[in-house]
Amino acid sequence: MAISLLAPSRTALPRLNAFRVEDLLPQPGEALRAIIDGDRLQPRYQPILDLRTGRVHGFEGLIRGPADSLLHLPQNLFKAAQLSGQVVRLEAACCRSLLRGFQESGQPHQLFLNVSPDSLAQEPFLALLQPDTMAGMGFSPERIVIEITENQPTTDFSQLLRSAGRFRRMGFTIAMDDLGEGYSSLRLWEELRPEYVKIDKHFVHGVARDPVKLQFLRSMRDLAAATGAQVVAEGIEREEDLAVILDLGLDLGQGFLFGHPAPEPHPLLPPGIQAPAGLWPVR
């Protein structure tokens, strides 16, 4: 049976987003294979800002499907991968696409790559992230941050710790994504000892007006200082929340206030963005 990858018009998309992928695409695995085999994944890069200087520290690599596909949204891509047993293959293809696009951009910054815990132990990643392979793509491991994400949660923490240790010995650094959401836990933080801890956007949105969220961020800042991790505040969208985050002294920030995911990494902030009290200049 032929499968159409064409998406409906933009006006129809909001209604269709309410449907399940398996309802829209009776054979989502075949549609996903066509995207991967056709090299049609679309890289996106969102800046991560050094809040002490106002300069870009690195970029998180994100992914989209083809614009004319019902699998354009990442949640649909990964749902199709889960339904068809292609999660590892999709994640490896995403990383290859992101690495290639980042190398072509010529940016010298760090690149954060999202990888689910179980995928780290699989052959596609062991092969892709070998230092020799990385060197052939123009990267040293020190420029890559492996961001442990929860697309596919795991309860096998021992395997995760072994995998993280293997990549650390190669020179990669580790980030723990979405602290306070999903499987992430203080125990995992203590055992994994990541170089970066990304705080879930739930605790960042509205922190300027929520004393409980403020206390959470303050506690995470203090724990990070004790473990030697840098804190990344995700989901910064309001200047009033940015002012609080700067006052707390958090290391890094990410969110629409600094830049949306874009096809190419841009090292400069959008015009007009500046810290309160002139902590860093308009760029």
Q: β-strand 110-115 against 144-148: which pairing, if any?
A: parallel
Mean pLDDT of 202-228: 95
175, 195 in Cβ contact below 8 A?
yes
On whether residue 272 sits in a domain, the answer given is no
Mean pLDDT of 251-268: 90
On whether residue 160 sits in a domain, the answer given is yes
Q: What is the pLDDT of residue 181?
A: 57
On whether residue 275 sits in a domain, the answer given is no
On whether residue 15 sits in a domain, the answer given is yes
On whether residue 183 sits in a domain, the answer given is yes
Q: What is the pLDDT of residue 3?
A: 29
pTM score, two decimals?
0.86
64: three-class secondary structure by DSSP: strand
pLDDT in tens, 43-62: 999 999 999 988 899 999 99
Closest listed residue to residue 54, CA positions, set 263, 262, 245: 245
Q: Which of 116-120, 167-171, 264-268 has the highest mean pLDDT?
A: 167-171
On whether residue 170 sits in a domain, the answer given is yes
- The structure tokens 């006006």 sit at 11
Q: How many domains does the chain have?
A: 1
The whole-angstrom separation of Cα 72 and Cα 74 is 6
On whether residue 282 sits in a domain, the answer given is no
On whether residue 112 sits in a domain, the answer given is yes
pLDDT in tens, 8-50: 333 344 444 545 766 667 788 999 999 999 999 999 999 999 9
136 pLDDT more than 80: yes
- Return the ∠ at Cα 95 (arms to 125 and 232), rounded to 5°: 105
Q: How many other CB atoms are there within 10 angstroms of residue 273's CB atom?
A: 17
Q: What is the pLDDT of residue 283?
A: 40
CATH number of the domain residue 72 falls in = 3.20.20.450
The residue segments making up the domain with residue 51 are 11-267
